[in-house]
Amino acid sequence: MKPVLSTSHDAAYPSRRDFLWQSGGGLGGIALAAMLGQDGALAAPLASRAAGPHFAPKAKRVIQLYMSGAASQCDLFDYKPLLEKKNGQPWDPGEKVVLFQSKPGQTMASPWKWRQYGKCGKWLTEIMAPLGDCVDDMAFIHNMRSKSNVHGPATFMQATGFVLPGFPAAGAWISYGLGSLTDELPAFVVLPDARGFAPNGSRNWGAGFLPAEHQGTMIRAGTRRPIHDLNPPQDSFVSPALDADGMQLLKALNHTHEESRPGDSRLDARIRSYELAAKMQLSAPDVLDLSGESQHTLKMYGVDTPNVPYEGPMNPGEETRNFGRNCLIARRLLERGVRFVQVWSGADNGFPRRNWDSHEDIQRDHLPLGKAMAVGSAALIQDLKQRGMLDDTIVLWTTEFGRMPCSQGAKGRDHNPFVFTNWLAGGGIRGGVSYGESDEWSYQPADRDHPTWCYDVHATVLKLLGIDHTRLTLRHNGIDRRLTDVHGHVIKDILA
């Protein structure tokens, strides 16, 4: 702390305030700083400002794999023999069905064969085969439900807990509640799909009304400039020395401005972001450099997968390379202390189709995306496990809603907000279990009065991180807001 010197008196005759400060304020300031620091009221690096867990955590970091466009539960994880038995017959669940953009078509079985994997005997389709080696470490939730059948609001719901914009992402809440494990990298990092954003764009990982420092930092892996504006352009006149001098000048000007505005935290947050950016100029290139990884690891993640002949807008080889690379970089980020990493599969809703939104042809779209996801996800789980990191890392797989058991047109499936699948693995999760059945069609939860919501998943993840989801709050516009809104129950049946 520094005194604010008066300018209304001659320097030879200090003001009473200056005299008191010079006489004893220094020691008093030190004591005050210590007390404010203990209460978390002083500005400090993010890694040292965490509120701390409410109880002993089982995990300390999270990686969220987000399938944008609505991955089909009944073509990946949720085996229903009735769909095979009734395949091609009119679909009639015995009640009126209102779909997003179609009328109920024929009952449609998955185009891929199913088989059981692991000691638990979990059913997966053949394009999910790489995950077969991991099912005994995974917990599947088959009765998820969404409040919306529209991509934008439903994506928000799974990412932030609300269907409306303006709310903090789960990663932002965790950054706010626990802080970072390092001062060299952000607490919350996002790896978007190589081809673009999901619906809502960067608002899916925004900080909302939390301090801006908690928003996700986006890294476009595999591009020429993975982090925008982190370093000057190659043809710039800015040298490392000039850059350092500019940072020093900026720091001095910012602190002068800050001292004249006590109690305003916005500039302090901006200062910390610049300080972090300076550190990332050294740390980020190391994270993104895969040259030190073994050929075995690169092959396991599918980073060297070649393109294959394929009639469709997405090539299985390219998808496997992109998703696998992001999963590998996610592991490297976690190793270096990033608290929450979000990996996206699926870009916007343009045409030709570039995401999981398979209205026209489920086989054409889900095959390249599904194979890529299975290879990358399986490699991530196995890699974390062999490095001893799976015990304290939560892997969360989600999508915004599911797809219908009937056909849309001849080969596609329409939106199904009533039931879909999530799965988790890692820190504190009991592997080899399936929780919350869907009905015989994979159309609704088997128990419609007790579906599982994103609030329950978020409450469970926070529990494993040592956080009581009802106590991680911030008062905004007169309301104590939290990630789980006014809902959420910890899913005890999937806890180890």
Q: What are the CA-CA distances from residue 477 to residues 209, 264, 480 (Å)?
A: 10, 18, 8
Q: What is the mean pLDDT of residues 9-14?
A: 46
Name the percent of the chain lying above pLDDT 90: 68
Whether residue 430 is predicted with pLDDT greater than 90 in this model: the reply is yes
What's phi and psi for 422, nearest 5 deg?
-120, 160
Return the minimum-mean-pLDDT range out of 16-25, 52-61, 469-478. Answer: 16-25
Whether residue 212 is predicted with pLDDT greater than 50 in this model: the reply is yes
pLDDT digits (tens, 9 = 90+) for 371-414: 999 999 999 999 999 999 999 999 999 999 999 999 999 999 99
Q: For the CA atoms of 429, 431, 437, 438, what is the dihedral angle to 10 degrees?
A: 90
Question: How many CB atoms neighbour CB 247 within 10 A?
Answer: 14
| CA 413 – CA 76 distance, rounded (Å) | 13
Residue type, 59: A
Whether residue 7 is predicted with pLDDT greater than 50 in this model: the reply is no
Interhelix angle 240-259/266-288, rounded to 10 degrees, is: 160
Return the minimum-mean-pLDDT range out of 33-42, 145-154, 297-306. Answer: 33-42
Whether residue 196 is predicted with pLDDT greater than 50 in this model: the reply is yes
| CA 143 – CA 151 distance, rounded (Å) | 19
State the burial class of residue 295 (Cβ atoms within 10 Å of its Cβ: 0-12, 13-18, 19+). exposed
pLDDT at 223: 63
Whether residue 138 is predicted with pLDDT greater than 90 in this model: the reply is yes
Whether residue 42 is predicted with pLDDT greater than 50 in this model: the reply is no
Better pLDDT: 156 or 249: 156
| CA 332 – CA 290 distance, rounded (Å) | 9
Whether residue 3 is predicted with pLDDT greater than 50 in this model: the reply is no
Q: What is the mean pLDDT of residues 22-46?
A: 42
pLDDT digits (tens, 9 = 90+) for 13-29: 555 555 544 444 444 44
Domain with CATH 3.40.720 in the chain: 49-228+282-494
pLDDT digits (tens, 9 = 90+) for 309-336: 999 899 999 999 999 999 999 999 999 9
Q: Which of 17-21, 200-204, 236-240 has the highest mean pLDDT?
A: 200-204
Name the percent of the chain lying above pLDDT 70: 82
Write down the mean pLDDT value for the chain. 87
pLDDT at 184: 86
Whether residue 80 is predicted with pLDDT greater than 90 in this model: the reply is yes
Q: What is the mean pLDDT of residues 199-216?
A: 93
Start-to-end CA distance of the chain, whole Å, equals: 48
pLDDT digits (tens, 9 = 90+) for 254-282: 778 878 777 666 666 666 665 665 666 66
pLDDT digits (tens, 9 = 90+) for 108-123: 999 999 999 999 999 9
pLDDT at 78: 98
Better pLDDT: 33 or 463: 463
pLDDT at 187: 93
pLDDT at 412: 96
| CA 369 – CA 431 distance, rounded (Å) | 24
Return the minimum-mean-pLDDT range out of 8-22, 139-153, 280-294. Answer: 8-22
Return the minimum-mean-pLDDT range out of 218-227, 265-274, 292-301. Answer: 265-274
* Omega of the bond leading into 352 within 30 degrees of 0 (cis): yes
Whether residue 160 is predicted with pLDDT greater than 60 in this model: the reply is yes
Q: For the structural domain made of 49-228+282-494, what CATH number should be given?
A: 3.40.720
